[in-house]
Amino acid sequence: MNVGHEMYSKLCGDTWVLRLEIGEEVLASIAELCKKEKILCAEISGIGAASTATVGISYIENKGEGKTLIIFDKRTRYEVARH
């Protein structure tokens, strides 16, 4: 199944396997898959190389709206899910 531009994803049992091409944004691709598949909690591991990597994850409390899961790097925040 192709989820985004070049990213390839496949569900193997209860594990999603992603393959990204050179130049694809790692967090944007993960956020896209999480939104599409409604993934609210995950463990992420990887094999490969990156030119740079700074990653964070946070829950932001929204008054009266629950929590929002955010993953981010130095440049961009990706809202993944609200609950």
Task: List the pLDDT tens digit at each of the 83 positions of the chain.
Answer: 444 457 889 999 989 998 888 888 888 888 888 888 988 778 888 888 877 776 776 666 666 666 666 667 667 766 666 65
Residue 19 counted as domain residue: yes
Phi-psi label, residue 48: left if phi above 0, alpha if psi -120 to 50, beta otherwise: left
Domain residues for the domain of 22 are: 8-82
Report yes or no on 3 lying in a domain: no
In a domain, 21, yes or no: yes
CB 32 within 8 A of CB 3: yes
CB–CB of 80/34 below 8 Å? yes
The total number of structural domains that make up the chain:
1
Neighbours of 76 (CB within 10 A): 11
Residues 6+ apart with CB under 8 A from 55: 26, 27, 71, 72, 73
